[in-house]
Amino acid sequence: MTEPVLELSNLEVSFGRGLRAASVVRGVSLRIEPGEIVGIVGESGSGKTLTAMAAADLLPVGAEMTADRWTFEGHDLAASARSERGPILGGRLAVVFQDPMSSLNPARTVGAQMGDVVRVHHGQSKRAARTTAIDRLRQVRVTAPERRVDEYPHEFSGGMRQRAMIAMGLMTPPALLIADEPTTALDVTVQADVMAVIAELNREHGTAVILVSHNIALIAEVATRVLVMYAGRIVEEVAADSLATRSRHQYTRALIGSVPRLDAPRDQPLVTIGGAPPDPTTRAEGCSFAPRCAAATSECRSVRPEFVESDAGRVACFHPAADA
């Protein structure tokens, strides 16, 4: 068995202390193998982004993280000081954020910000870093990279800023790319272009990808494996090509059912998931989805289901659905 790029075991992320403490990621375990694309889906507040940011050691101020195991390319990050984790992750893990305009410094050129990566981690000169930045911008299909490298973020379109963020991750060959809602607010054509760049990075360089998205159709199209999160937990793991037909958790089926279809009758109302996600400051005794689930029983409301093997992957559900 090959060594995983990333491994997390029993990850917990919380905010606050005492009675108002909010546990937003609860007992998450995942393993990312070299070269695979893993999608993480779920509603807002399900813990997708915080799980990804915890893996990258980029949690916001005020968040507390614990994990029984946290490794990256064989390095034991759980036993390392933060000052030691930076050099390990900085050169081999890249992150594409949801809003690149808020992630890029508006007062510095795109090329200068890209060059920081190789200047800090590889000691390149300013001139060499600029040359590398031009090459990486060209690699992600930014036109006229020799000119664009000296422009500021506001001079780039939304899609170009996303490509620039990906190019920044390519400044040193990454083992893992974490893309957090990389196509949000982009039109369909630009979305396809951004996803094509990520797929090409995965195919040509063997870079593993964690793709976080609300867009379950997008995830199913590009990922090899899908993790479905609800209320801070992974409730199902399924192969992407089996997502639509062989997913088992009632929540996964509800997510799939709520995706609009072009062939649906125009007078047919859109499918929604009733109710609301649970308050993260409370801990349900049973399945967190039980109050919103039509198949829930008294057992679901009182006992938390274990994450067990299913014929299509793994699932935490007492009443798994049959094939669609």
**pLDDT for res 209:** 96
Average pLDDT, the chain: 90
Over residues 79-121, the pLDDT tens digits come to 999 889 988 898 899 998 877 778 899 999 999 999 998 898 8
Which distant-in-sequence residues (6+ apart) come within 8 Å of 8 by Cβ?
28, 29, 30, 31, 51, 54, 55, 67, 69, 70
Domain coordinates in residue numbering, the chain: 6-92+173-315
Interval 200-215: pLDDT, tens: 889 988 999 999 998 8
Q: Domain 6-92+173-315 falls in which CATH fold?
A: Rossmann fold (3.40.50)
Report the alpha-carbon distance of residue 97 to residue 241 in Å, rounded.
26
Q: Which residues pair with 185 in a beta bridge?
A: none
The bridge status of strand 176-180 relative to strand 208-212 is: parallel
Position 79 scores a pLDDT of 92
Q: What pLDDT does residue 1 have? A: 58
